[in-house]
Chains A and B, each alone.
Chain A
């Protein structure tokens, strides 16, 4: 567990918010792709599906996968810390307690980002673009 306890502070904070940042980047990108695609009337199709929709759909899947990986890793760290903390007062092992906090925080934000990704992805399937 030591490499994680020694992580530099700013990287630790970044890892905490990483899942939502990934989601936000995806959100902006998809929005921009749709905006540009519609502004310049890009109508090329691939397998009966507009190229704009393809980009949006693929980026949804990729985003989902990235966040899921972050979330699963956080879950492992959290379980590890959680088991290590059992039967112990938090004051007895403040570093493991802190690790548990960061792991759980990343895990929860990953779950939130996964939900948000699915919800943002829904319109790509349901709503016609540029209408």
Chain B
């Protein structure tokens, strides 16, 4: 809709608030100005930060690629030596995967999800901000290592023993392991809040079967991150323990196995590809429907396809290990699963085709990029099926054929949709359109440049050129092909350059947008300019998948404040919580506003990691304590008891402002956090069993300490503490102060007793983690549980303090519920740990 059409909606002039409600909304959602911008937590601002940072890393990673292509332009070139080249390809992969692709997709999700779902913000805005700062600081740290010549150089999948202390004595590997662990926190945090946001904060009527496909895509992506990232974190930490403290997980001399790293890494690494692709495919589904001017064909099919892809992608990890000499039958399972994952991809492709064929497609720049995506991604998918065939993979694995394949899948499957998304949603962020004319240049330069770079690489690989070589001999048949690839890479870069020019120019010269320039049907296009951080004046009640197409009056009604929450009566930011399935309103959720706490917490966390890289562990410990203190302050300042039980939600509806128990959003957030935690715990257990099967001969035949006595006592203490916790919760609900205090103090005492009991048993067992992988793994599992017990004791103390301060009452008992949930979980993993360590091997 152009400026003139929109004037009938309402005049742009002056935009003075039209009601006291709007004035209060404005005040509650006011953007901090100046340096205080860094304390902003609102999703529209943090989302922009994430996207801008991600895009910057895309450019930086691209420059590394151009340097590599320049080196490979002729055989035996000496432009770049092997040391720098090895850092370049390691950092290119690392940057693109960890600092660009995943974060920028999460950035899109953080930015768009509340708007698309008709929410005011994500449920944990300060977590978004904390996540962003972890990502930003960690990213600068990891990438910055290039400038001090200490960048990681072990390849982006960092296989030991090449990355062990023996073969990589420098700090390079530590920067990768710890720096990226830090960055991964950001992804986990964002994933957690996106899941809660999508399931619980949709506009009334936007039931789960009406969510935009992009929301489903983000839901699947975030759920995958929650399961896939912890194994990598665990592997990172295990390798760092081996490097820094001489433990053994991957060292064959001491009962470790380098293949363990590959299992854990690829258990993350393969889903990672789909973590990137699924949201991109979600973007495609949105763009296709809008520009085909009709609803997507096969909504349920596409949703099922994304879920299917998400689950099956966890059964593909060995497909990166076909050449490691595993039994052929094992390999064949993964070969079969790799074929199975092609079916949902096919369903999505044909759903887009059917929609395009059944609609009246308008070929604007976003759709042009979708066409580029279709060609490139389908080709990449087809070569993906090829490499899923075990014998063929033996030939092309680790060659330029695979380099070509995954660039077709990742660049084709993610970067083209990303640009489609940038052209599509830019008006929401800047209020202006990017140039159609330059957009065509951007597209054709990027598309042709890409094909010229990567199409020949299939042949280069089949002709025997391995990947990750800093140079190659002349006369192998690779000279011309490499020359062509290099030329193509620079054409591709020219396309990105034109985009950057267009981007900067459009802030001044781009056509202004008042409302829904593409005539799309989904809620992200509901706002009318000037676009506000609270999205729309009122939260809409919707009746279908494409509310803007189905409900003709919706825009005007919402913009007049005729729907939910058209006010901020107590001056606080609010959003609606609705049922996970039906989206019936349940609660008015008060969410926090701008704060310096997230940035401070991220800085404290970064000190922890930087000190660990520098092996200054005393500083690490101090930083960890400071971080914990900030977290406690954070939690303390956040949870307030509302002024009334029920508050006005608009449209004559009154809703509770405080919800506790399983319907509380913090309970949901913590549950997802515990899934993350359990995935890490399961990785440790996998390590234990894996190393046992890897070296059945050198693995002890007896558990580390014999006898049923410690086992039974340990389990009894844990079970009793769990019982005490349940007792305290029940007593608190009954408003029985004495019972509550007896219970919570008993929890504390039993927890302390457990630690006092287990630590000596453990200390007497004579385990030495530098001796053998068995000792290391037992230490890791017990240490992991004891760490949880420690956190649990802190939480119990926190709960008692909350009670004493009067913030925790019989009805406002979220703190206690959350502590109890964490405690029961900790008892659960403790019992599992004890059973495994005492009973296996037997």
Q: Which residues of A contact B (CB under 8 A)?
A: 9-10, 12-13, 16-17, 20-21, 23-24, 27-28, 30-31, 34-36, 38-40, 90-91, 94-95, 97-98, 101-102, 104-105, 108-109, 112-113, 115-116, 119-120, 122-124, 126-131
Q: Assuming A17-B307, A101-B209, A116-B340, is B329 touching A131 (CB within 8 A)?
A: yes
Task: Check if B209 sits within 8 Å of A102, measured CB to CB.
Answer: yes
- B694 interfacial by beta-carbon distance below 8 Å: yes
CB distance from A68 to the nearest CB of B (A): 17
A128 to chain B: which residues have CB within 8 Å?
Answer: 328-329
- CA of A130 to CA of B305 in the docked complex: distance in angstroms? 33
Task: Check if A20 sits within 8 Å of B327, measured CB to CB.
Answer: no
Instruction: Report the stretch among B331-339, B420-428, B592-600, B751-759 that lies at the interface.
Output: B331-339
Task: Check if B300 sits within 8 Å of A105, measured CB to CB.
Answer: yes
Q: Assuming A34-B327, A105-B304, is B340 touching A123 (CB within 8 A)?
A: no
A39 to chain B: which residues have CB within 8 Å?
Answer: 693-694, 696
- The size class of the interface chain B forms with chain A is 35 or more
Centre residue among A23, A24, A104, A112 by max chain B CB count within 10 A: A112
Task: Check if A31 sits within 8 Å of B340, measured CB to CB.
Answer: no
B335 to chain A: which residues have CB within 8 Å?
Answer: 123
Task: Check if B581 sits within 8 Å of A34, measured CB to CB.
Answer: no
- B811 interfacial by beta-carbon distance below 8 Å: no
A101 to chain B: which residues have CB within 8 Å?
Answer: 208-209, 299-300
One of B207, B304, B579, B582 near A109 (C-beta < 8 A): B304
Task: Check if A16 sits within 8 Å of B209, measured CB to CB.
Answer: no
Q: Which residue of B lies closest to A24 (CB)?
A: B311
CB distance from B95 to the nearest CB of A (A): 31
Task: Check if B329 sits within 8 Å of A120, measured CB to CB.
Answer: no
Q: Which residue of A lies closest to B220 (CB)?
A: A17
Q: Which label, helix, strand, loop or mixed, suits the secondary structure of the A interface?
A: helix
18 more A-B residue pairs beyond the given contacts A20-B311, A94-B582, with a C-beta to C-beta distance below 8 A: A13-B580, A16-B307, A20-B307, A23-B312, A28-B315, A31-B330, A91-B544, A94-B205, A94-B207, A95-B582, A112-B308, A116-B336, A119-B336, A123-B328, A127-B332, A128-B328, A129-B327, A130-B329
14 contacts between A and B (CB under 8 A): A10-B580, A13-B581, A17-B307, A17-B311, A20-B308, A35-B693, A94-B205, A97-B209, A102-B209, A119-B337, A119-B340, A120-B337, A124-B329, A128-B328
CB distance from B498 to the nearest CB of A (A): 41
- CA of A50 to CA of B307 in the docked complex: distance in angstroms? 35
CB distance from B833 to the nearest CB of A (A): 20
- B28 interfacial by beta-carbon distance below 8 Å: no
One of B315, B339, B581, B582 near A24 (C-beta < 8 A): B315
B212 to chain A: which residues have CB within 8 Å?
Answer: none
- B640 interfacial by beta-carbon distance below 8 Å: no
- CA of A129 to CA of B329 in the docked complex: distance in angstroms? 5
Centre residue among B209, B343, B550 by max chain A CB count within 10 A: B209
- CA of A126 to CA of B89 in the docked complex: distance in angstroms? 40
Task: Check if B304 sits within 8 Å of A122, measured CB to CB.
Answer: no
- CA of A45 to CA of B694 in the docked complex: distance in angstroms? 23
- CA of A113 to CA of B315 in the docked complex: distance in angstroms? 12
Task: Check if A109 sits within 8 Å of B307, measured CB to CB.
Answer: yes
Q: Assuming A98-B207, A123-B333, is B314 touching A24 (CB within 8 A)?
A: yes
Task: Check if B581 sits within 8 Å of A98, measured CB to CB.
Answer: yes
Q: Which residues of B contact A (CB under 8 A)?
A: 205, 207-209, 299-301, 303-305, 307-308, 311-312, 314-315, 327-330, 332-333, 335-337, 339-340, 343-344, 543-544, 550, 579-582, 693-694, 696
Task: Check if B300 sits within 8 Å of A120, measured CB to CB.
Answer: no
Q: Which residue of A lies closest to B336 (CB)?
A: A119
Task: Check if A108 sits within 8 Å of B304, measured CB to CB.
Answer: yes
Task: Check if A105 sits within 8 Å of B307, measured CB to CB.
Answer: yes
- CA of A10 to CA of B327 in the docked complex: distance in angstroms? 39
Q: Which residue of A lies closest to B301 (CB)?
A: A108
- CA of A94 to CA of B293 in the docked complex: distance in angstroms? 24
One of B312, B328, B329 near A20 (C-beta < 8 A): B312
- CA of A10 to CA of B200 in the docked complex: distance in angstroms? 12
Q: Which residue of A lies closest to B334 (CB)?
A: A31
- CA of A118 to CA of B287 in the docked complex: distance in angstroms? 35
- CA of A16 to CA of B340 in the docked complex: distance in angstroms? 19
CB distance from A113 to the nearest CB of B (A): 8
Q: Which residue of B lies closest to A94 (CB)?
A: B207
One of B327, B337, B696 near A116 (C-beta < 8 A): B337
Q: Assuming A13-B580, A112-B344, is B333 touching A30 (CB within 8 A)?
A: yes
A30 to chain B: which residues have CB within 8 Å?
Answer: 333
- CA of A26 to CA of B209 in the docked complex: distance in angstroms? 29
CB distance from B647 to the nearest CB of A (A): 24
CB distance from A50 to the nearest CB of B (A): 10
Task: Check if B339 sits within 8 Å of A119, measured CB to CB.
Answer: yes
Q: Assuming A91-B544, A98-B209, A102-B209, is B327 touching A130 (CB within 8 A)?
A: yes
Q: Assuming A13-B580, A24-B311, A40-B693, is B304 touching A31 (CB within 8 A)?
A: no
B339 to chain A: which residues have CB within 8 Å?
Answer: 119
- CA of A21 to CA of B223 in the docked complex: distance in angstroms? 14
B693 to chain A: which residues have CB within 8 Å?
Answer: 35-36, 39-40
- CA of A74 to CA of B307 in the docked complex: distance in angstroms? 16
B312 to chain A: which residues have CB within 8 Å?
Answer: 20, 23-24, 112, 116
Centre residue among B300, B301, B314, B694 by max chain A CB count within 10 A: B300
- CA of A82 to CA of B207 in the docked complex: distance in angstroms? 18
A119 to chain B: which residues have CB within 8 Å?
Answer: 336-337, 339-340
A108 to chain B: which residues have CB within 8 Å?
Answer: 300-301, 304-305, 308
Centre residue among B205, B208, B327 by max chain A CB count within 10 A: B327
- CA of A27 to CA of B334 in the docked complex: distance in angstroms? 9
